[in-house]
Chains A and B, each alone.
Chain A
Amino acid sequence: AQSVTQLGSHVSVSEGALVLLRCNYSSSVPPYLFWYVQYPNQGLQLLLKYTSAATLVKGINGFEAEFKKSETSFHLTKPSAHMSDAAEYFCAVSGPRGATNKLIFGTGTLLAVQP
């Protein structure tokens, strides 16, 4: 069975500092991996996804993530945090190809950005 673990339910960074949100996955088959962001009282917005092409994936708003099979990780990073990045971030897994598109989500990481 597939699963996702997000380490750190709350992360706080200073404006301009590096953002690192951790995600580890468990899957017996090559997974598809996603990062979504949720702002208060809104739905989920896709930041980026890994679908077995390049292992370094660039997304919107300056975010990127690297798929590391040996570490079963897909951590999300941004070099310089902005106040507008404050939101909740979810890592999710689906797959394999040809199977269900059901997304299995991690428990989320709430990112706070301090001025």
Chain B
Amino acid sequence: KAGVTQTPRYLIKTRGQQVTLSCSPISGHRSVSWYQQTPGQGLQFLFEYFSETQRNKGNFPGRFSGRQFSNSRSEMNVSTLELGDSALYLCASSLEGQPQETQYFGPGTRLLVL
């Protein structure tokens, strides 16, 4: 089976712009979660989607949003970019989104905001 894929791998944006990141989960996985990784804050949970519904959300401002499509692919959007949004954004998928399941991570999208 193919692993979790994320596009694009690298992105450079300027402050105030918006960005959309894409994640394709492992075939058959219905849960997709997003994490932000920065040197200062480490790995932080953004949100989780299951069957096109957001089931859980982390402590991030409303500028961060996401969605999931019927084929389980997911996108996350960040509007009005700030310098502090520069980070590695990781997507992870699992079968049913149960806490004991393994989450499989993609390679990430590295976003640089100038």
Residues of A bordering B, CB below 8 Å: 32, 34, 36, 41-46, 49, 51-52, 90, 92, 94-108
> Is A101 a contact of B108 with CB atoms below 8 Å?
no
A104 to B92, CA, bound (A): 14
Take A44-B105, A45-B105, A103-B45 as given contacts and tell me if A97 and B100 are in contact as well, using a CB distance cutoff of 8 Å.
yes
Q: Mark B40-64, 1 if CB is under 8 A from A, else 0.
A: 0011110010000001101000000
A32 to B97, CA, bound (A): 13
**Which are the 9 A-B pairs with shortest beta-carbon distances?**
A43-B105, A105-B43, A94-B99, A44-B105, A51-B100, A95-B99, A100-B56, A101-B99, A43-B107
B106 at the interface (CB under 8 A from A): yes
Chain B interface mostly helix, strand, loop or mixed? strand
Our pick among B56, B101, B104 for the contact of A102 (Cβ within 8 Å) is B56
> Is B105 a contact of A99 with CB atoms below 8 Å?
no
> Is A108 a contact of B99 with CB atoms below 8 Å?
no
**Interface range, B side:** 20 to 34
Take A43-B4, A43-B90, A43-B108 as given contacts and tell me if A101 and B43 are in contact as well, using a CB distance cutoff of 8 Å.
no
A103 to B48, CA, bound (A): 11
A92 to B102, CA, bound (A): 11
Residue of A whose beta carbon sits closest to that of B9: A41
Chain A interface mostly helix, strand, loop or mixed? loop
B65 at the interface (CB under 8 A from A): no
Interchain nearest-CB distance for B42 vs A (Å)? 5
A98 to B108, CA, bound (A): 28
Extra A-B contacts (19), CB below 8 Å, given A95-B100, A97-B100: A43-B106, A44-B90, A44-B105, A46-B102, A46-B104, A49-B102, A51-B100, A90-B43, A92-B43, A94-B100, A96-B99, A97-B98, A100-B48, A100-B55, A101-B48, A101-B98, A101-B99, A101-B103, A103-B35
